[in-house]
């Protein structure tokens, strides 16, 4: 491995906790009713955040640290959907103008929610590289401050507050399952968990169609998957390839393994979470529980496990399709 970027510290995450307190919810750990006595699963319900996903944490932690001059310049961000709402919500709360670049394949429910929060929407091509280029162009043209969805230590420290809450609520947890896209979420969670409880296993979960983090961890370097293939996953929040450079340094240091789930398993998990767990999850938010439901044999044994349900912003028509399907 080449020299790595600076890693987030426990002090960074504790400072982020103080900043997001009263803005982001300290979400509950919800007991999974299908748990066995010897192996109990809890769901970290980030779908209950005000914007329906964990993204508020990193966005608020970053924007709240900008100088008055930077705030006056406004912020710009690229997103597959949930980060857009996180930035829009945080920017509105802090009195900052926000411009968001979204792909032309973003679910309408996420586009509409972002616009309702007062952000200006710019539509780009479907691939993660398209929206990154467009956001960089806008930042250069207008002087906006970039709010990266994952490739920034302030974003990662914000997501690390999830790991802190998990340990604060359940200090004897043995396994934490986290979805992986650009890598910001798992970077923060894994950093917090491993720095406080090194013997707790942290496993990333991603769709089979977007398994670049798994390939990257095995290769010891970032691997890019074909964007057209990645964009085929129903988990629209996990359509980023490759993982960010800064997140990868955290993943390589702190994450024990990455496993994958199929499209059918993701759909089944969405249905199970709603009908059995009474918890609404979008496909991206269902991948971590899906690993527990369908691939327990690939996971380390754990008397107590937590799966992060990262978001619940599912389009009504998609939910209807999944609930009506014979899965």
Q: What is the mean pLDDT of the chain?
A: 94
Q: Which two tokens stand for residue 31?
A: 């007991």
Straight-line distance from the first to the last Cα atom of the chain, in angstroms, rounded to the nearest whole number:
43
* pTM for this model (two decimals): 0.94
Rounded-to-integer distance, Cα 230 and Cα 215, Å:
13
Choose which CATH entry (3.10.310.10, 1.10.10.410, 1.10.3720.10, 3.40.50.1100) describes domain 10-53+153-324: 3.40.50.1100
Residues in a beta bridge with 258 = 204
Rounded-to-integer distance, Cα 208 and Cα 254, Å:
22
Distance of CA 246 to the CA centre of its chain: 15
> Could you read off the pLDDT of 57-80 as tens digits, one per residue?
999 999 999 999 999 999 999 987
Rounded-to-integer distance, Cα 162 and Cα 168, Å:
10
> Could you read off the pLDDT of 184-193 as tens digits, one per residue?
999 999 999 9
Residue of higher predicted confidence among 327 and 84: 84
Q: What number is the average pLDDT over the span 253-263?
A: 98
Burial class (CB in 10 A: 0-12, 13-18, 19+), 275: exposed
What pLDDT does 5 receive?
62
Choose which CATH entry (3.20.20.70, 1.10.10.60, 3.40.50.1100, 3.40.190.10) describes domain 56-146: 3.40.50.1100
Residue 125 has pLDDT above 80, yes or no: yes
CB 187 within 8 A of CB 250: yes
> Could you read off the pLDDT of 1-27 as tens digits, one per residue?
445 468 999 999 999 999 999 999 999
**Residues 151, 265, 269: CA angle, nearest 5 degrees:** 80
CATH 3.40.50.1100 range(s) for the chain read: 10-53+153-324, 56-146
């Amino acid at each position: 491995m080449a020299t790595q970027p600076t890693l987030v510290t426990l002090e960074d995450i504790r400072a982020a906790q103080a900043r997001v307190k009263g803005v982001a919810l300290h979400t509950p750990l919800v007991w999974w009713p299908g748990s066995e006595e010897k192996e109990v699963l809890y769901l970290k319900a980030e779908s209950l955040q005000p914007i329906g996903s964990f993204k508020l944490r990193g966005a608020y932690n970053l924007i709240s640290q900008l100088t008055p001059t930077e705030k006056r310049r406004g912020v710009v961000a690229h997103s597959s959907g949930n980060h857009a709402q996180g930035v829009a919500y945080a920017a509105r709360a802090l009195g900052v103008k926000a411009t968001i670049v979204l792909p032309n394949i973003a679910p309408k429910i996420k586009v509409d929610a972002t616009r309702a929060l007062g952000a200006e929407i710019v539509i780009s091509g479907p691939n993660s590289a398209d929206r990154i280029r467009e956001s960089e162009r806008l930042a250069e043209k207008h002087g906006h401050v970039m709010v990266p969805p994952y490739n920034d230590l302030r974003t990662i420290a914000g997501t690390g507050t999830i790991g802190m809450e998990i340990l604060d609520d359940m200090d004897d947890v043995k396994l934490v399952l986290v979805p992986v896209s650009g890598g910001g979420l798992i970077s923060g969670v894994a950093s917090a968990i491993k720095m406080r409880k090194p013997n707790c296993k942290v496993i990333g979960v991603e769709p089979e169609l977007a398994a670049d983090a798994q390939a990257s961890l095995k290769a010891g370097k970032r691997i890019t998957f074909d964007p057209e293939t990645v964009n085929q996953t129903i988990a629209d929040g996990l359509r980023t390839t490759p993982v960010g450079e800064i997140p990868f340094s955290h993943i390589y240091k702190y994450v024990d393994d990455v496993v994958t789930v199929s499209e059918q398993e993701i759909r089944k998990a969405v249905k199970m979470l709603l009908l059995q767990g009474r918890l609404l999850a979008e496909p991206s938010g269902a991948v971590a529980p899906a690993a527990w439901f369908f691939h327990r044999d690939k996971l380390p044994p754990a008397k107590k496990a937590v799966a992060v349900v990262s978001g619940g912003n599912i389009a009504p028509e998609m939910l209807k399709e999944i609930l009506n399907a014979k899965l």
